[in-house]
Amino acid sequence: MDFIIVTGLSGAGKSRVVTALEDIGFYCVDNMPPKLLPKFVELCLQSENLSRVAMVVDVRGGQMFGDLFDALTSIKQMGSNYKILFLDCEDHVLARRYKETRRQHPLASLGFNNILDAIAAERELLKTLHDRADYLIDTTHLSPAQLKERITELFLGSSTQSLMVQCLSFGFKYGYPSEADLVFDVRCFPNPFYEAELMNKTGLDQSVRDYVLGFDEVQGFLTRLYSLVDYLLPFYCIEGKSQLVIAIGCTGGKHRSVVIAEALAQHISEQGYRVMASHRDIGK
């Protein structure tokens, strides 16, 4: 059974993730008390109809949230494996989302009336889960459609398969991707933005791809990047890592980083790994 625990900061997009998981065949349960988790997993294992299950657990459970780690230990002792998907987001974006929806933060009932204080307290409560997460997605710069696409690509196959590699392009001007495991800065290479006929195109256009890949220094970089990644990936698999995010950054995230992320994803796929390419800032 594929069993995913969805958690993370309030306002980071857990409800959207649940919808996306349901669309690809997961049975989802939201906000069950942690003490009931082992019994629920036991019932799922006995069922012939439930092979993919997702459970949302977060601080809405109040004091019951503290029972979570005992519950996870019990699940392991039952011989059932689980994966933790953690949704993160920058504080100022979370605060804006709460202001727009006029919803109250779950920790407001504990006296955290200032939204930023509540977010800080929630981060502290979730720190251990964040550190133990198998999958980490930062939704700060993701649209709802991009988040759904990320979830679909991540879990459309079996989550029991080995490493999923994500080649993520981004623009440094829009912020560093906090979920990245490896980051490569390609701002040192010639920029198509300064070519009039390429400025308004993206790295998905063949003309931009030909321009970027036409430089010897880019080809030299790719040769060395492929060699490094080929060396590292087996070690990540041995470690048991579920998701590896390789981020490629240029200035705006539309040209150079997109081309190189696509080229890297193609190379990794040819080596037999599960891989997806995503482009955080290509539409900005």
Tens of pLDDT along the chain (284 residues) come to 788 999 999 999 999 999 999 988 899 998 888 888 888 888 888 888 888 899 998 887 666 666 788 888 888 888 778 899 999 999 999 999 988 887 888 888 777 778 899 999 999 989 989 999 999 999 999 988 889 888 988 887 654 456 889 999 999 999 999 899 999 999 999 999 999 999 999 999 999 999 999 999 999 999 999 999 999 999 988 887 888 999 999 999 999 999 999 999 999 999 989 899 999 999 99
Give the pTM. Answer: 0.71
Cα 214 from Cα 8, distance rounded (Å): 42
Q: How many residues does the chain have?
A: 284
pLDDT for position 1: 73
Cα 136 from Cα 130, distance rounded (Å): 8
pLDDT for position 160: 43
3-class SS of residue 247: strand
Q: Where are the domains of the chain?
A: 2-155, 164-279
- DSSP code, position 162: S
The superfamily CATH assigns to domain 2-155 is P-loop containing nucleotide triphosphate hydrolases (3.40.50.300)
163 contacts 242 by C-beta, under 8 angstroms? yes
- DSSP code, position 140: T
